[in-house]
Structure 1
Amino acid sequence: MHKWTLLAGAAACLMSSPVMAQDQGAAPAETASQPAPTVGLSDIVVTATKRATNLQNVPVAVTAMTSETIASKRIGAFSDLTRAAASLTLTESTAAPNNSIILRGIGTYALSIGVEPSVAVIIDDVPVVQQAQAFDNLSDVERIEVLRGPQGTLFGKNASAGAINIVTRDVANHLEGSGSVTGTTDGGYKGEASISDKLDDNGSGFRITGYYNNWRGNVLNITDGKMLNDNESWGIRAKVKYNIGGRLTVHLAGGYSGSHSNGTAGTVRYVDLTTVGAAGRQPGPYYNGQSIASAFTGITPGAANRVVRQDNDSFTDSKQWSLSGKLNYDLGFANLMSITSYQDWKYNFSADVDGTDLAVNNGATAVTNPIGPSKGVNNSGPYHSTSITQEVRLTSKTAGPLSYVLGAFYANSASNRSFTRGPALILANWYGYSGTRSLAAFAGVDYKLPTKTTISAAARVNNERVHGDFINMLPSANTTQTVINANCGIGATGCDGRHTDTVATWKVSVSQELAPRVSTYASVATGYKGYAYDISSGFTPARVNGTDGPVKAEHSTAYEIGLKSRFLDNKVQLNVAGFWTDYNNFQAQSSQYLNGAIQQKLNNVGKLRTKGVEVEAQARPTDWLHFDASAAYTDAKIVSFTAATCYSGQTAAQGCINSVQDRSGADLPNSPKFKFNLGTTIDHHLDADSKATLTLNYQHQSAINFDLLGNPLMWQKAYGIFNAAIGFERGHYKASLFVNNLLNQHYASGMADNFGSYGVHEIVQIVSRDADRYAGIKLSAQF
């Protein structure tokens, strides 16, 4: 009752500044043809080319969000980035390692720990090891850049589809601090705080940031009355900056964060409780001889379903810490930078595989550790990833026609995973290891001609060694030496592999200034993602040697043209990009039957192609009115995949011949043809110290299918989400009242079909927090 009283009595506000607000103290030097603006939109400085450059001068399709934009759109978690970037979608699972970041229709469709993501995530110049690490709280962030298309020349081979560059707030040159608390009607509360100050008058200082977040969840397990999909997360980050002798600056940073869920689940979206036999449709289905009809008592399948019946609540647990050191030495003509980092990430989970509370093991003893408690089928599998990186960069700082960046990069990462499934059905018990050592040299050069033409070129040479190892610990795989060798049992030969590859990628672009603050560009770039071992269930020596493994490297060639413009006295900005990218040997996971159970196997999809148009616009016609919009048309297709596995339950009439189908010409999963975001902010100054603000945001996407193999039941219709906030600011204090998903539009963030378990189609959906309407209040202060 107290929470509702607080919400009802609050005068609200979510303070918002223009989307194109200026990062404090980061304004670049203006050229004679681009005079500094006095009104309208401010400039954003980005590091998309590893050099601080005005966003409008970079011949790259990049969406940049300042701290003001992040606040106005309430981007507090990584999944919220889809509100600002029209070409970005996310596919989510109950286990973060199975999530996928998708840009222009291209994402990572793989479960193996040996496969790097297609979209790189970089936090303060350090790439994360596993993409799952990115699905964390975004706290005290200064800027987020979403770079679309291959970015491998400067950001590494795991940026074959794009990169997301996150820059946290730097040390302040004076005492400053901030804090906020948020409470929501769906059982959530969050607190954030930061403080920064100088240590001397030479630019040295520190910054400390911390957060705590707790949410009760959105799915009810009616078996035990517990809420699932809950989340508790916390973190702390510290930065120290030392200025030594005026030329050398040392940055030291460390952070620790964790998150925990007491239960995870996907809800039933569709189920067919009849089977097809010789006498036609009959009651069913059955799981290991047990009728599962009673498992749906009290459940109404559909997009709005938020209840399940499970005897294993499941859980997830994630902890990570990192250390980094950055040295910057001013050589006068250039800056020499060294970045060293170490990161350690641990993740564990348990999942109810059968998704019921029935004794489907036919009386087998319920297992309580590590995959229970449950009378059904469960799995679990802890991950552990570590990484050491070292990067050295020489970046020019002169104002002449030539600018450049030269660098070298080293990374050594290791990931291991244990996996257990049982206790009596579709058994699995294995350990896998994946190691990667990368050495790379890269360079980028820009040259400005007197004709206001800029020619840019970048290249990267990458040498990589990958290592994969697998041990099957099931008793059935360790009976005789012959069986051991054939199934990668304990001490088997041929289940430990290494592969080395050297590849060069490049990018060339030409940009032409047509008028002050109006320019066009065209570019050609290549991308690459290296060889990978398919370290997952079903591993045999064939995945190490021969035609089955390692999975071949993925290559891409991207073509792009664009327009970047400011006009109407710098009050309107319009950026347009057209793109066409071809992928060869794209790496993707698909299902197949092995030993009577569905297993996931990594494949090389023959060819993919993604093409489309992206538009981003901002306007500030007056000081009190701000608009921003982005839209994307994306046509992402499988050009050639003639030997794709059939989807679960696919018949010959539906194109399945000898367990194989032709997916050539099909759309890629979770890639909407159309997606757009609209936003507006209205400020009203009440007096010299007070301001009221109204913020409205709407995002819409067209229909999609979540299945690479084309299961028609994993289809989601078009939908739109409307968010609103209204509030009040006075001096150093702010209060905001907001509503997410005001129209209560239900949608899924991921889907799966349990046909392999039940023999009939049961579509399970992942429902995110934003798939339901909720309101909240946020109170904040700063000094």
Structure 2
Amino acid sequence: MNSNHQMQGSKLVVKPAVAAVALAVASIAHAQEAKKDEPVQLEKVVVTANKRAQNLQDVPAAITVLNDAVLQRNNVKDFDDLPALSPALSVTYSTQPGNYSINMRGIGTFSLGVGVEADVSVIIDDIPYAMQANAFKDLADVHRIEVLKGPQSTLMGKSSIAGAVNIATKPIDGQWKTKLSSYLTNDHEYRVSGSVSGGLTDTLRMRLAASKSDHDGVVKNLTDGKRLNGSDNTNFIGKFEWNPDDQWSVVFSPRASKFTKNCCVSPLRMMTSTGGLYNLNNGFTYASTSDRIPVSQVLNGIVPGPDNVSVRNDYPAGGKAKDVGAGLKVNYAFGDGGLLANHTLTSITSWSHYQMDDYQDGDGTDSDVLNKTLVGGKPTNLHGGLYQLGNFDVKSKTQEFRLTSPDKGSVRYVAGLFYGKNELGRHLARYPAGTYITDYTAFSSNTNYAVFANGAIDLTPNTSIIGGLRYNKEDLAYTFDSPLLAPTVASRTRNHYEDTASETKVTGKIGLEHRLDAATMGYVTYSTGHKGKGIDLTSTFNDNNFRNGYVPGEDAKSIEAGVKLSLLENRMALDLAVFRTDFEGFQQSAGMTDPDGIFRTQLHSIGNVRTSGFEADLNWRVARDLSLNGSFAYTKAIVTEFRNGPCYNRLNDAGTGSTQVGSGNCIASNPEFGKTNTADLAGKPMPNAPKYKFNIGGQYDIRLDKSFDAFITGAYRWQSKINFRIDQDPTTIQPAFGILNLGAGIKDKKGDWKLSFSVNNVFNKSYAASLGNVGWGNTMWGSTATAPVHVQAWTPARDYQRYYAVRADFAF
């Protein structure tokens, strides 16, 4: 790896800081020149974070808005692209796409079970996803994304305890328009999309959109020559709006998508020795050392190292999913008279069905690892390797009624009722032998009934009290079945568990908003959040889990203060916020590798975690032809209480194997916690939570002649180091890094066509989307019983290396 890959935080910050100062100086010069020529102002940014359309600068909350121009300029494809544009967001990846996690301000949930909700909700056109995994597909036909930071339980529900991502799809055009777009890269990614939109009659309008994307991936499978860690998406979205008169509006929005992620494969990044022999482990033994497979065979063509992206898999990896659903939104606007004069009554009904079949190569090799192996001292009489398969089946239906007051008046409010039922099924099987084998079916359901209200009361023309309240009742149920398995490979009796639970919770918000002048608004708010009880419906579920019952729900208490500024005669919008949120009973799955070599996770209820920090969001129309946007976040997300945290592995003092440590305080066989190895993690940072993160981007238009213009785009992002594991394993740290993207193109003045070219990751900075440390061991890779080997795997990011792209857009 070249020296660029080794640059640490302080070295990387200098270049963007100098560039930012230089850009600011040049921008001010452009702004002064533009001021002489013509008035230049920002366009109003409208958001629906409070379930009503409002100017962003009038909303007393920290929100990052990614509008259509920003999304198009950065070629945003799916949710994985959003953390580059919003510092508050990060994504934690796992062994299969159903277990990805969205983190907000360093807080998220990583759990392998359908019995645990996410901490960050994803909402599209007022309809929440029942399972966060459904968000990891193409963001098809998206118009605007609002990143709502901090607890949003009052308006967005109990799965929004850490925040919410509110997505709005593109509106129906006033006149008939057809749009086509294509995108192609030099590393085998392509996208095509099209839409038709307009009025069918005087009262009926429609929009139909379709898209297809495909990327082979950045990981090379030497077994079959194919690539992994890519995706294939097909999407259809419809929107039909009927306005029979000025009072009624009915919008029906069907959707269907099919997507495949051949993902979650982690090449070997580091191996302390490659001269030994490979042992399958997982409860297997070999009759003699000569039966073990030479590592040279297992790693044929693979050279473990920081730039290795090659694997050998003889079983597919990833998941195939499909999602169908529809929403029906009905608005009725009351007239000028009566008790509800100028109010709007809204009904939102939704139904969705998400299914995914997932699969994984269990041993990560293409060798005949089962040949000559013993289980219980007896030959398996099997050939090939280990494999995993399963499926998710998620059904959801919701109904919401809400009443919205007029935008003007001394009292403004939104009040409503919500009903939602989610049914989540999970089947997982691991075959064919040894302690690796697993077979279970789990089903979880949650039904929610809520009453909510949110609003503001003007005390003076410039000062308002803001507040909200939500009462939520939740009914939960689960079943778990582990069937009888063939006694020749594993001895296990059938287990059946089931239970129900119910709880009620009140969350709310109170605050003060004051407008110093027409361009400056300040606010302070205190809000609470709650996420429901969870149950660890995974392969480790047993009698002890059943006796302990549901893991208690999470509670959050948050204080936030901010100021929203409209500067330079409304050419700049600068939003600043400070915050602190404390979570009690935080639900967190922590993973570890058992002595038999199997990676397992267990759900914990951590005592407390806390996130605090400072954020800034900038939109700047520097000149008529120059626009900038950027964000900065300082986030300190730490564990404040977790006495039974997991330990991590390191080389033992004798140098003969591994031992578990935990930031120097691992207690072996801790009698207080069932004689398991535990570490007190109080004060330690949360996983995948960079302390510093920022991005800046923009576009400069160059006016050429009466027919077309040129443009230049740029985007830079940087983040400080992170640790991917909550056990604080020092070998799973990703150092600080920065990524620069540049682009240029030409466009028709009438907006009929645009052609652009971009270079992504200009300086070719390699970085990991995740790191996994198998730890020090002498049973899987060691040549002898006293020859420990340290193995580490990584997931290369989509843009871990430089690539080029060309894009063409047409409208007619």
TM-score by length of 1: 0.89
What is the 5 A alignment of 1:407-418? 407-418=416-427
Distance in 1 (alpha carbons) for counterparts of 2:173 and 2:390: 42
1:459-505, Cα deviation, whole Å (9 max, x unpaired): 1111001111110114279999x974xxxx25x4xx10111000000
- Once the 2 structures are TM-superposed, how far is the Cα of residue 263 of structure 1 from its aligned partner? 6.3
Distance (whole Å) between structure 2 residues aligned to residue 467 and residue 674 of structure 1? 41
1:200 maps to a residue whose letter is T
Match of 1:21 in 2: none
| One-letter amino acid of the structure 2 residue matched with residue 763 of structure 1 | Q
Greater CA drift, 669-678 or 293-302: 293-302
Note if contact 2:448-2:473 (Cα within 8 Å) is conserved in structure 1. Answer: yes
Q: Which residue of 1 aligns with 2:344?
A: 335
Backbone CA RMSD of aligned residues = 2.4
In the other structure, the counterpart of 2:529 is 527
Q: Work out the CA distance in 2 between the residues paired with 1:558 and 1:603.
A: 22
**SS of corresponding position for 2:648:** coil
The question of whether the paired residues in 2 share the 8 Å contact of 1:418 and 1:432 is answered with yes
Tell me the alpha carbon deviations over residues 383-404 of structure 1, each in whole angstroms, 9 at most, x when there is no partner. Answer: 1100010011100125111100
Match of 1:312 in 2: 315
Shift of 1:617: 1.6
- Change beyond 3 A, Cα 1:302–1:401: farther
Picking from 728, 746, 767, the partner of 2:766 is 746
Match of 1:605 in 2: 606
Q: Is the 8 A contact 2:649 2:661 kept in 1?
A: no
Looking at structure 2, the residues matched to 701 and 234 of structure 1 have their Cα atoms a distance apart, in angstroms, of 32
1:721–1:745 Cα contact (<8 Å) kept: yes
Q: 1:201 to 1:542 in 2, by over 3 A?
A: same
Residues 565-618 of structure 1: CA deviation (Å, up to 9, x unaligned): 011111222111101010111001123678955432111011101110001122
Tell me which amino acid in the other structure corresponds to 2:757: L
Tell me the residue number matched to 2:402. 393
What's the CA shift string for 1:205-231, capped at 9, x where partnerless?
Answer: 000000011112211111222222232
**Which residue of the partner structure matches residue 8 of structure 2?**
none
Residue correspondence of structure 1 range 316-327 to structure 2 within 5 A: 316-327=319-330
For 1:260, the equivalent position in structure 2 comes to: 260
Structure 2: distance between partners of 1:184 and 1:145: 28
Find out whether 1:353 has 2:356 as its counterpart: no
Shift of 1:291: 4.6
Aligned partners of 1:153 and 1:460 also within 8 Å: yes
Matching residue within 758, 768, 780 for 1:758? 780
- 2:782 corresponds to 1:769: no
Partner of 1:12: none
Q: Is the 1:584–1:607 contact (alpha carbons within 8 Å) kept by the matching residues of 2?
A: yes
1:577-592 superposed matches below 5 A: 577-591=577-591
Amino acid aligned to 2:317: S
Q: Which residue of 2 aligns with 1:161?
A: 162
Give the AA of the match of 2:307: A
Q: Is it true that 1:543 corresponds to 2:545 in the alignment?
A: yes
2:280 aligns to what? Answer: 287
- Structure 1 residue 619, shift from structure 2 partner: 1.8
Measured in 2, the distance between the counterparts of 1:477 and 1:434 equals: 29
Greater mean deviation of Cα atoms: 85-94 or 292-301: 292-301
Where 1:539 maps in the other structure, the secondary structure is coil
In the alignment, the residues of structure 1 paired with residue 262 and residue 542 of structure 2 have an alpha-carbon distance, to the nearest angstrom, of 34
CA distance change for structure 1 residues 329 and 363 in 2, over 3 Å: closer, same or farther? farther
| Residue in structure 2 matching 1:515, options 517, 523, 526 | 517
Shift of 1:662: 1.2
Are 1:377 and 2:386 matched, yes or no?
A: yes
1:558 Cα offset (Å) = 0.6
SS in 1 for 2:712: strand
**Which residue of the partner structure matches residue 243 of structure 1?**
243
Distance 1:315 1:338, change over 3 A: same
**Partners of 1:452 and 1:513 within 8 A in 2:** yes
1:202-241 equivalence runs, <5 A: 202=203, 204-241=204-241
* Amino acid corresponding to residue 758 of structure 1 in structure 2: M
Residue 312 of structure 1: how far off its partner (Å): 1.8
Q: Could you say if the C-alpha distance between residues 403 and 440 of structure 1 is closer, same or farther in structure 2, counting changes exceeding 3 Å?
A: same
CA separation in 2, counterparts of 1:178 and 1:398? Answer: 34
Supply the AA of the counterpart residue of 2:369. Answer: V
Kept in 2, the 8 Å contact 1:303–1:747? The answer is no
Give the percent of matched residue pairs that are identical in Structure 1 and Structure 2.
33
* Partner Cα distance (1:108, 1:688) in 2: 54
Q: Which residue number in structure 2 is paired with residue 439 of structure 1?
A: 449
Give the AA of the match of 2:304. P
| Pair 743,261 (structure 1): closer, same or farther in 2 beyond 3 Å | same
For residues 589 and 166 of structure 1, the distance between their equivalents in structure 2, rounded to whole angstroms, comes to 28
Shift of 1:768: 2.8
Contact 1:264 1:313 in 2 (8 A): no
Counterpart secondary structure, 2:667 = coil
Change (3 A) 1:591 1:180: closer
Aligned position for 1:727: 745
Q: Aligned with 1:461: secondary structure?
A: strand
Using the TM superposition, name which of 53-62 and 680-689 deviates more.
680-689
Q: CA deviation at 1:353?
A: 2.1
Distance in 2, Cα, partners of 1:263 & 1:616: 33
* Contact in 1 for aligned 2:97/2:261 (Cα 8 Å): no
**Aligned CA distance change for structure 1 residues 704 and 595 (closer, same or farther; 3 Å):** closer
Aligned residue in 2 for 1:662? 680
- Please say if residues 94 and 766 of structure 1, whose CA atoms lie closer than 8 Å, have aligned partners that are also in contact: no
Aligned-residue offset at 1:261: 4.1
Q: How does 1:450-465 map to 2 (within 5 A)?
A: 450-465=460-475
C-alpha distance in structure 2 between counterparts of 1:263 and 1:40, whole Å: 44
Map residues 589-738 of structure 1 onto 2, 5 A cutoff: 589-591=589-591, 597-649=598-650, 650-652=659-661, 654-658=664-668, 659-730=677-748, 731=750, 732-738=752-758
Q: Does 1:132 align with 2:133?
A: yes
Looking at structure 2, the residues matched to 750 and 352 of structure 1 have their Cα atoms a distance apart, in angstroms, of 18
SS at match of 1:145: strand
Q: Please say if residues 273 and 284 of structure 1, whose CA atoms lie closer than 8 Å, have aligned partners that are also in contact.
A: no
1:415 partner SS: strand
SS, match of residue 644 in structure 1: coil
Structure 2 residue identity aligned to 1:723: N
Distance 1:444 1:356, change over 3 A: same
Farther-moved stretch of structure 1 (404-413 vs 451-460): 451-460
What does residue 504 of structure 1 align with? 506
Match of 1:406 in 2: 415
Indicate conservation of the 8 Å contact 1:685/1:692, yes or no. yes
Q: Distance in 1 between matches of 2:43 and 2:63?
A: 17
Rounded Cα–Cα distance in structure 2 between residues aligned with 1:273 and 1:454: 66
Q: Distance in 2 between matches of 1:75 and 1:68?
A: 11
| Paired AA for residue 438 in structure 2 | A
Unaligned 5+ segments in structure 1 are 1-36, 275-281, 366-372
Partners of 2:530 and 2:447 lie apart in 1 by 16
Shift in CA distance, 390/157, structure 1 to aligned 2, threshold 3 Å: same
Could you tell me which runs of 5 or more consecutive residues in structure 2 were left unpaired when the two chains were aligned.
1-37, 287-291, 336-341, 375-381, 651-658, 669-676, 782-788
| Counterpart residue type for residue 672 of structure 1 | P
Q: Counterpart amino acid of 1:523?
A: T
The structure-2 alpha-carbon separation of the partners of 1:263 and 1:439, relative to structure 1 and needing over 3 Å to count, comes to closer
Q: Is the 8 A contact 1:101 1:119 kept in 2?
A: yes
Tell me, what secondary structure is at the counterpart of 2:117?
Answer: coil
1:688 shift after superposition: 3.2
Q: Is the 8 A contact 1:416 1:433 kept in 2?
A: yes
Partner of 1:410: helix, strand, or coil? strand
Match among 359, 367, 371 for residue 362 of structure 1:
371
**Alignment check: 8 A CA contact 2:648 2:660 kept:** no
Match of 2:807 among 773, 778, 783: 778
In the superposition, relative to structure 1, how do residues 329 and 374 fare at CA in structure 2: closer, same or farther (>3 Å)?
farther
Seen in structure 2, the aligned counterparts of structure 1 residues 471 and 761 have a Cα distance that, compared at 3 Å, is farther
Does the Cα contact within 8 Å between 2:698 and 2:714 map onto a contact in 1? yes
Cα distance in 1 between the residues matched to 2:799 and 2:263: 18
